[in-house]
Amino acid sequence: MLRTLWANRSKFPLHIIVFLAPAVIIYSTFMIYPLIDSLRLSLYAPDDNQQEVFVGLDNYQKLTTDDLWQPRLEGAIKNNIKFFAIHMLVQNPIGLLLAALLSSQFIRGRAIYRTVIFTPTVLSVVLIGFIWRMILSPLWGISADVIDFINANIIDNLNTLGFGIDAIENQPWLGLENTALPTLALISVWQWIGIPMMLFLAALISIPDELIEAARVDGATAWGVFWRIKFRLILPTVGIVGVLTFVGNFNAFDLIYTTQRATAGPNYSTDILGTFFYRTFFGIQLTPGNPTMGATIAGVMFLIILAGVLLYMFGWQRRILQVEY
């Protein structure tokens, strides 16, 4: 018996450990350990001698109930939800539409269109923020010329047909509280729309042609083929794109920091959890940083993202697997 167990043990493929070890070590060093240490730090607070002492969940209670911290946390979460909603309702449907069009065999130059649409994704976020600040500047930007063109050539023509649409007025889009966050969200959509488009496109072109041809023989229209066959088959990809959008937007930071700085102006109207964490952890202007409260905000971000991922895994993904099997 012992000889059999030892023989089976000797057959264990040790080369798997050799291949996995570098990736596991690097990922644990730069991802797992910082995450665990950040959660540990959120359970401490400095005392009168600036020494860290264990306080349990007091930081989380302070963050959610204190009059100084609670409004900023609530505002950041609301802005994050708005930021995420715009991506879900604008970016992903348009990405699916573009993927459906570019998967058609009747469109010429599809590779060129894919490259052009995907190009903003590989550009630097700092460059994207600087360019759009220049474009949307009310002093020297070209947004006024574009709006005048739309008013003269589109809205005026629609109004002659009796639609009654008000003309668009040029304004400091990044300088007003009610327009800054939607504008930044749409800029982010423009930059990252290539990713859901490519994921949807990969799923659509993997559908067997026999299914499409059979549906057309049965008299299905183009819309019927897409809605009743293609869309049903790419539902797992739709779920993956949705959870990637959720995680990416609740980790967002760089675009808003590049355009609005850490103050997330005007008047915190573009403040999200990422900028709130940065401002708290590292400090800003004359306000010193508070690492323990910053780690607490990071812990809240982790819990929100974890809840969204678990909801996807045990809700959407399980339902899709039940439908498939």
Rounded-to-integer distance, Cα 102 and Cα 110, Å: 6
Tokens of 98: 């573009």
Convert the pLDDT of each residue in 86-101 to its tens digit: 999 999 999 999 999 9
Convert the pLDDT of each residue in 43-82 to its tens digit: 999 887 878 899 999 999 999 999 999 999 999 999 999 9
Task: Give the Å distances, CA to CA, from 195 to 113, 232, 299, 300.
Answer: 14, 20, 28, 27
Convert the pLDDT of each residue in 263-276 to its tens digit: 998 999 999 999 99
Mean pLDDT, the chain, integer: 88
What is the reported pLDDT for 27?
Answer: 93
Contact criterion met (CB below 8 Å) for 64 and 70: yes
Convert the pLDDT of each residue in 111-138 to its tens digit: 899 999 999 999 999 899 999 999 998 8
What is the reported pLDDT for 312?
Answer: 87
What is the reported pLDDT for 198?
Answer: 95
Percent of the chain at pLDDT above 70? 94
Each domain of the chain, given as residue ranges in start order, spans 50-136+172-324
Q: Identify the architecture of domain 50-136+172-324 in CATH.
A: Orthogonal Bundle (1.10)
pTM passes above 0.85: yes
User: Which range has the worst mean pLDDT, 91-100, 182-191, 236-245, 280-289?
Assistant: 280-289
The residue ranking higher by pLDDT, 298 or 148, is: 298
Residue 308: band (very low, low, confident or very high) from pLDDT cuts 50, 70, 90: very high
Residue that is written with structure tokens 């059979």 in the block = 214
Rounded-to-integer distance, Cα 162 and Cα 46, Å: 66
What is the reported pLDDT for 182?
Answer: 95
What is the reported pLDDT for 5?
Answer: 52
Contact criterion met (CB below 8 Å) for 181 and 269: yes
